[in-house]
Amino acid sequence: MKKLFRRGFLFRLKPSAGIEAHLANYVGASRFLWNKMLALNIARLENKQNLIWYAEMCFWLSLWKKSQEYGFLKESPSQALQQKLRDLDRAFKDAFDKKQPLKRIPKYKRKAMCDTLRYPQGCKLDEANRRVFLPKIGWVSYRKSRSIKGTPKNITLSRKGKYWYISIQTEYEQEISPHSSLHSSPDSSRSIVGIDMGIKRFATLSNGEVFQPLNCFGKLQAKLKRYQRRLAKKSKFSANWKKQRRKISSLHEQMARTRRDYLHKISAKISKSHAMV
């Protein structure tokens, strides 16, 4: 039996300083558009008026692009701005959906918070030369750590710390074979294993296998304290204060990458050695 899958492949971009400046401007424009539309809808809610949905948002976007005050929006890729409006439209629909367990009004976005750009079309992928074509940017190299499987459907750019990443979502069909235990007695399969997540031990399997915690925070704790003490001594919002804050952010991102890498390695090891029914 064949089944259709969608899968994301994450790579780190290698943009030049000029391309990084353009990307920063694009995510800034997207953040401004989100906050502007959000403020309009919150004002309408307070005045008990109808909300602005996606179609009307696009109308206002086209008007703002022609204006002198908000003319900078036309410098950004149109589809990236439209995708940001779609995200806001979905956020408001979820906020008033009774089936959603955690309903809340969308929040304003700050700088360096969810800096993303999504391209549903117009991008090209050149795996042989390890580069990707982005609208209004051109060809940008990336670190190819593995081959891509399937047909690319959309591309998302994101900034985490000082690095830019590209996520390529692909679609492909794959044959699914039933587990061998489905065609035999219930006691014939010994591949199922239980996992107990803990604190002192990262994970304990039902077969007795134990995975110790990584404790990457403990290894970098002294360095983080030193950076934070230096930050406290600097004038707030000064150039040196911003530089030191970027160092702290980079250190947190390093710890997050280390944890994700360890988690993926452990989960891959368990899934390969114990087939789950």
Give tens-digit pLDDT for 35-94: 999 999 999 999 999 999 999 999 999 999 999 999 999 999 999 999 999 999 999 999
Global confidence as pTM = 0.81
Q: Is 111 exposed, middle or buried (0-12, 13-18, 19+ CB in 10 A)?
A: exposed
Banded pLDDT at 103 (limits 50, 70, 90): confident
The stretches of the chain forming alpha helices (DSSP H) are 17-46, 54-66, 78-95, 216-232, 239-273
Provide the pLDDT for residue 174.
87
Banded pLDDT at 189 (limits 50, 70, 90): very low
Provide the pLDDT for residue 271.
83
- Residue % of the chain over a pLDDT of 70: 94
Lowest average pLDDT, out of 104-108, 111-115, 231-235, 239-243, goes to: 111-115
pLDDT greater at residue 63 or residue 111:
63
Distances (CA, A) of 195 to 208, 248, 265, 267: 10, 34, 15, 11
